Chains A and B, each alone.
Chain A
Amino acid sequence: MKNNKIFLIGNPNSGKTSLFNAITGEKLHVGNWPGVTVQKIEGVIRTPEKCTVLTDLPGTYSLSPATPEEKVVLESIDEASKGKILNVVDISNFERNLLLTTQLVELGLKPILSLNCYDLFTKNGGSINLQRFAALTQLNAYPTVARTGTGVNALIDCLTSEEKDPSICKNPSSLDFSEKWKTVLIKCAKSFNIDWAEASPLKKHEILSKFISTSDNNLTEELIKIRNDFAQEISEESKRTIKPTNLACELAMDRYSRIEKLLAATATVPEKNLPKWQEKLDSILTHRIMGLPMFLALMIFVFWTTFSLAEAPMGWIESGIDFLANFAESRLSEGLLSDLIINGIIHGVGGVLVFVPNILILFFWIALLEDSGYMSRAAFMMDRLMKAIGLQGRAFIPMIMGLGCNVPAIMATRIIDSKFQRFLTILLIPLVSCAARLPVLVLLCGTFFPNNPSLWMFLLFSVNISVILLLGHFSNVMFKAVENSPFLLEMPPYRLPTFKSVLDTLKEKAWHFIEKAGTVILAGTIIIWVLSSFPRDIPLSFDYENEKTLIMSVKDETKRQEALENLDSKRELEYMENRYMAKLGKAIHPIMEPLGFTWRETVSLIPGFLAKESVVSTLTVLYLPFSDDLGEAMTKSGITPLSAFVFMLFTLLYIPCLATFGVMWRESGSLKFTVSSLFIYFIIAYLASFIALKVGELMQTADGTALENILIVISSIIAAWYLINITISSISGKMCNSCSQCSACSSCPSKTENCKGGCHK
């Protein structure tokens, strides 16, 4: 069997993924592209004779990269030129999709074209003379409808056949450079001592981008002269003044005129890709006044179904797990192994499976919204709002879902196309307070602020929201200097989602979650189990068994029961205090001391990593010596409402749960990103709690200076904010004015007149 490689390349929204699914039987995620956290997806085309590997390249509008994903495409071009290239062209948006094809042809490549969405094209009144098209472009072109699979077989035959089509010979393609461009590029290549005809596609692209660069910086004298001469030449020809720094624009015009000529000769192209009725639908769905309420109503419905309808299957999974645990308990003799199987493995697996109903329901809706084309409209409407925290419109749905559960929310960030935006959204979601954190807060607020718990809850959430706003704003300003991808939001035509594509999404998501994130969650559960159940042998302070027999002799049934329970919890406390978890908690206690936490509170934060609910249950056990009732016990042990508030704030922010951590890691594909995010959360939680503590302390000084103190605090916060802002703008401002190939200017906060969009040495 022979292995061949085919690379799939095309615009975003061109139906690339559908075509990929239609062609390949078997799909493999092959980790990331080297050096970047962009997922590499390969599939296998099986024919009786051989096995062909199809690699899906990230979607891109052109070969001049604006994002890391698109850089991947450019960097794969050399490898792709050795195999075959399948270029998906959305024929319902013909002109623009052919730009990428033109660029490929210019670099000397011969992509096989899949003219996708052919049904939409003909329905809108389009027609094409395929023979003529192939003859002029010198490329094989196959009409396909990836969603239904029409035309895919012919395409597969062409992809897997060894022979070259005899009609495609060495005639120049009408999409290739005109003579005058070719001549000047050969000259250009010569100035680098390179033979244009022999150069690799990547090298050609490099020469071309040097030639059309928008400034003379970093160019050789010879190249500058070639540019000037060429600009002069075309200026005379077109009777316009063309500056050598404007060659990029000339090239784009030249490319589109080639495309227009080709299409005029071979096809009737519909005027618009959106039919009239869809424009009407658009004006209703994105209506200035009615659009948002409709979208919000839809969101509430999606939210409700995702988290309420999932309760029943989640209950089944939980009872199934309980049944399994009971079954294991009855079969296995008590001991370390059974404890591991029951509390470590079975409950760990349960902790993974319990998320699946949420994920399935949420992705059912997301698949419908995405496939129908409504998602782009929703993003369009929400963009202004999300821009306030440095995100884009598409981030709205994941952020809102975060209120229910962070795990499906992070998976939902898949709908965000820009990698930077996606990572930023992933970073922010764990700060959104999910439904599981609510009971913890309700319990603690009710305990410490019995008079008006809701007011304090409100305060907590306000702090939470400000933290999200601040972090979003900061990361955006800080990293904008590094990455600046333009905001482009295409409005695809509305389409009816197909059953198959929705089902494919669901299968993939559920499996992906169980396989990738599940393993991390399971491993984490086992680690927490080890911490909380070792060392095994703990010397007890007195003989419980003996005491038990003594109690057994008590006549009164209720009294005996009470005494037994009391004894059990006492023993549990003694065990817990000696386990590694408590030791770890005590070890890190000095770090937490400035926040006014006792070692008991510090210890309870560790199982909080598994699930925030565990914070409360651990506290209950640890505070047993004071009272059965946690609130009472904590008050008795000397915890003030202020330190309780600080503790709640810390609990809210300090760390996402284990499942969220697992999904963050797997979805971002970067452990470095995930771990540094954890540090960021911890630092934020620490700072926020510390500020809250200090502000609270100041406010509690009940003499006449209280107001003064508050004023001091507020003014110092404002001053700090101002200082940080200045620092940030000076950092990114410096980058803006000094570097030669700067990408930050259009977003630079200290953008001045002399930095209008561009850069100055």
Chain B
Amino acid sequence: MVRTTICLADLPEGHTATIRDIDVDSPTAQRLLDLGFIPGTKIRAIKKAPMGDPTTFEIRGYQMGLRRSESELIDIEIKPDEKQ
């Protein structure tokens, strides 16, 4: 089984992944943690805005739009069976 680790900003639209880690050094991290962006949580990239940024993600049953500067702080892993 091949596991790939990338940052959330690079998750293609429509794909699902699992959060692996968050860059806790960033001041934004605490807020993301409070919003439920925690390791082990499934997350799906729903849609990029017409101009490429921000992107909406589905997590814990709700949708949140994040800019690239925020979604770059989150490391994810895509398991092969999770694609699509």
Contact = CB atoms under 8 A, between A and B. Distances in A.
Interface stretch (B4-12, B53-61, B76-84): B53-61
A745 B63 CA distance: 27
Contacts of A291: 50
A758 B50 CA distance: 31
A745 B29 CA distance: 12
A491 interface: yes
Contact of A271 (B33, B61, B65): B61
B65 A489 contact: yes
A488 to B, nearest CB: 6
A253 B39 contact: yes
A758 B61 contact: no
Interface string B31-70: 1111110111100001111111110101011111111011
Contacts of B26: 745-746, 757-758
A383 B48 CA distance: 11
Contact of A384 (B33, B34, B49): B49
A269 B53 CA distance: 31
Contacts of B30: 62, 64, 66, 248
B31 A96 contact: no
B29 to A, nearest CB: 7
Interface in A211-268: 214-215, 245-246, 248-249, 251-253, 256
Nearest to B64: A490
A371 interface: no
A750 B47 CA distance: 31
Contacts of B73: 746, 757
B36 A246 contact: no
A139 to B, nearest CB: 20
Contact of A486 (B32, B38, B40): B32
Interface extent on A, as a size class?
35 or more
Contact of A487 (B39, B40, B54): B54
Contacts of B52: 384
A487 B24 contact: no
Contacts of A519: none
B61 A269 contact: yes
Contact of A286 (B33, B39, B47): B47
A622 B15 CA distance: 70
A123 to B, nearest CB: 14
A275 B36 CA distance: 21
A246 B24 contact: yes
B9 to A, nearest CB: 13
A385 B50 CA distance: 10
Contact of B28 (A94, A95, A746): A746
Interface string A304-317: 00000000000000
B61 A93 contact: yes
A249 B22 CA distance: 8
A249 B38 contact: yes
B79 to A, nearest CB: 18
A214 B31 contact: no
Interface string A288-321: 1101100000000000000000000000000000
A270 interface: yes
A273 interface: yes
A743 interface: yes
A756 interface: yes
A756 B53 contact: no
A549 B20 CA distance: 95
B49 A252 contact: no
Given A490-B63, A490-B64, A490-B65, A383 B49 contact: yes
A462 interface: no
B70 to A, nearest CB: 6
Looking at B29, B50, B56, B67, the one whose CB has the most chain A CB atoms below 10 A away is: B50
A64 B35 contact: no
A759 B25 CA distance: 8
B24 A288 contact: no
Contacts of B40: 253
Looking at A252, A283, A381, A745, the one whose CB has the most chain B CB atoms below 10 A away is: A252
Nearest to A486: B28
A683 B69 CA distance: 33
Interface string A588-622: 00000000000000000000000000000000000
A487 B27 CA distance: 12
Contact of B27 (A61, A270, A743): A743
B59 to A, nearest CB: 9
A491 B64 contact: yes
Contacts of B28: 66, 486, 746
A737 B4 CA distance: 33
B54 A383 contact: yes
A61 B64 CA distance: 13
Nearest to A260: B60
B50 A381 contact: yes
Contacts of A488: 31, 35, 64-66, 70
B56 A381 contact: no
B32 to A, nearest CB: 7
A274 B46 CA distance: 12
A286 B49 contact: yes
A673 interface: no
Contacts of B54: 380, 383-384, 487, 489
Contacts of A4: none
Contacts of B60: 95-96
Contacts of A215: 25
B25 A756 contact: yes
A746 B29 CA distance: 11
B50 A288 contact: yes
Nearest to A259: B36
A484 interface: yes
Contact of A61 (B22, B34, B47, B70): B34
A251 B27 CA distance: 16
Given A99-B36, A383-B67, A245 B24 contact: yes
Nearest to A99: B34
A24 interface: no
Contacts of A289: 50
A331 B33 CA distance: 70
A574 interface: no
A384 B73 CA distance: 19
Given A381-B51, A486-B32, 8 more contacts: A249-B22, A376-B65, A384-B49, A487-B66, A487-B69, A491-B56, A491-B65, A745-B27
Interface of A: 61-62, 64, 66, 93-96, 99, 214-215, 245-246, 248-249, 251-253, 256, 269-274, 279, 282-283, 286-289, 291-292, 376, 380-381, 383-385, 387, 484, 486-491, 742-743, 745-747, 756-759
Interface of B: 22-36, 38-41, 46-54, 56, 58, 60-67, 69-70, 73
11 contacts: A66-B27, A96-B60, A272-B58, A273-B61, A384-B52, A486-B27, A487-B67, A745-B26, A746-B26, A756-B23, A757-B26
Ranked nearest first, the 5 interchain pairs of A and B with the lowest CB-CB distance are: A758-B25, A489-B65, A384-B51, A62-B34, A252-B33
